[in-house]
A and B are shown apart, each in its own frame.
Chain A
Amino acid sequence: MNAPAYNFAYLDEQTKRMIRRAILKAVAIPGYQVPFASREMPMPYGWGTGGVQVTAAILGPSDVLKVIDQGADDTTNAVSIRKFFVRTAGVRTTTSTQQATVIQTRHRIPEAPLSSHQILVFQVPIPEPLRFLEPRETETRRMHALADYGIMHVKLYEDIARHGHIATTYAYPVEVAGRYIMDPSPTPKFDNPKMNDCPALQLFGAGREKRIYAIPPYTQVISLDFEDHPFERYRPDGTCALCGATDSFLDEVIADDRGGRIFVCSDTDYCEKRRNDPAPITEGGRG
């Protein structure tokens, strides 16, 4: 008995081919949600089963994998998914955005610019941007097919009527390549502009909902808005207490027992690099 316990990257080759076919279709129709036969993974739904399957299907032995959760490389979810692929695929891993060829992410897009040799894989809980407005799947599919999207603006209208501005701060809906309305997964709207014209391929996997969708490189991605209430990038008004960044997305953390608070970069790799070398960060990839 010398057969390996797992196939390379856990999934069997037939499953990977099925997922790759879904990915190819998703790339061919930017923003369209392609159904796929999502598998049971050795982790609970909601922990990134969709992202893990996409990563498993595209990973090759020479790839360098980075996994982030809310921007951080060192949280439970990120660490365990990284370990999972070290064990099942033996790939090299990194925490450096520049050195990674595949980056699996939950809820953030790295601060450092991505290059055309990189693939960003998003973990998606609810892929359907119309879901909370229209509960019927049959109806939302028809709405996508007919580009019947007026209802999206009804939601934004409600925001302005209630709060005076568009109060949606994450999972902010976008229009991809002038056609499909897409949920960018629960990334903060701060990251929305990074999706537009991005040199890297962006893949989205929703395991429980069994959908894969994609933004091909250099695709136009527009955040929905009104002419008199244009889309605005939101960033907490503060400076990173560790690296002094004023341009990165920040997390607010409680620093002591008396409720003292500081802001720190949510992207730990970005923050670390700035502390070691304050020179501006350039793009990387497998070149």
Chain B
Amino acid sequence: MADEEAPLLIAESLSKWYGRQLGCRNVSFGLYEGEVIAVVGESGSGKSTLMRLLCAELAPSDGKVLYRMRDGVTRDLALLSEAERRFLVRTDWGFVHQDATLGLRMAVSAGANVGDRLMASGWRHYGRIRGTAIDWLDRVEIDRGRIDESPQTYSGGMRQRLQIARSLVSQPRLVLMDEPTGGLDVSVQARLLDLVRGLVADLKLSVVIVTHDLAVARLLSHRIMVMKDGQVIESGLTDQVLDDPREPYTQLLVSSILPP
């Protein structure tokens, strides 16, 4: 079907103004199935605004976000009812926040965190919910013996992996990640990136990943968008952009990486 070749997610000239303050301006791109796009730029460049526009948490001042639903019809997110949008967000989409406490229910056990989406979409069999939760803990390399512990007792890296399990359990097609490795030490980062890369390839996920870490972008993404002052100043294949940056700002970013 021609459908398969249509992008999963389309941003059409998205702009957001906070009063007179610019959030981001005229951002357009299409994300295809199985593709990973990295959004890089320094803080204040509009990355987070863009992310919140994409998941319809913020209403754009101009432009729109289109998404190809599971039935193959591409629809404008702003025109979905809130019930449809919530359903979409908890079944077909996943989120990995930099701050795990935003993405997890810290007051309930890890198992309940993973089972949350299943129960929200109508699973009513405790044994099966728990079985699926154990499977996912295994997949993200969390000791299954800790399934009944609260994520409060988990380390930073484990929390991130739990967030990933919690998001992916509903078999989403699109995952939005905001600095998933921020604040973790390098060895933990490396293992997490390895895990994410494996899952993305296995599950053919489409991912938008926001990061200020060019190494993360290089490792995970196929394409890259460089943002500055709310606008996309350069985009293209990740290797091409990082190896041969055209814009002075991108050149600056690339040259700021400490040599290994």
Contact = CB atoms under 8 A, between A and B. Distances in A.
A185 to B, nearest CB: 24
B112 A158 contact: yes
B102 interface: no
A232 to B, nearest CB: 14
Interface in B117-153: 117, 119-121, 124-127, 129-130, 147-148
Interface residues of B, number: 23
Interface stretch (A143-151, A200-208, A257-265): A143-151
A153 B124 contact: yes
B145 to A, nearest CB: 13
Given A150-B119, A157-B112, A162 B148 contact: yes
B119 A157 contact: yes
Interface in B70-117: 82-83, 86, 90, 105, 108-109, 111-112, 115-117
B106 to A, nearest CB: 13
A146 B86 contact: yes
A158 B83 contact: no
Contact of B105 (A146, A149, A154, A160): A154
A227 interface: yes
Contacts of B112: 154, 157-158, 161
Contacts of B109: 158, 161-162
A229 interface: yes
Among B124, B126, B147, residue most surrounded by chain A Cβ atoms (within 10 Å): B126
Contacts of B111: 157, 161
Main secondary structure of the interface of A (DSSP, over half): helix
Contacts of A161: 109, 111-112, 130, 147-148
A147 B81 CA distance: 13
A226 interface: yes
Contacts of B129: 157
A228 interface: yes
Given A158-B108, A158-B109, A161-B111, A227 B120 contact: no
Interface in A185-240: 225-229
B83 A146 contact: yes
Contacts of B147: 161
Contacts of A162: 109, 148
A244 to B, nearest CB: 38
A150 B121 contact: yes
Contacts of A160: 126
Of the candidates B111, B112, B127, the one having the most CB atoms from chain A within 10 angstroms of its own CB is B112
A227 B123 CA distance: 9
A153 B122 CA distance: 10
A154 B148 contact: no
A45 B126 CA distance: 39
B115 A148 contact: no
Given A146-B86, A150-B117, A155-B108, 18 more contacts: A148-B83, A150-B119, A150-B121, A153-B124, A154-B115, A157-B108, A157-B112, A157-B115, A157-B126, A158-B108, A158-B112, A161-B109, A161-B111, A161-B130, A226-B125, A227-B125, A228-B125, A229-B126
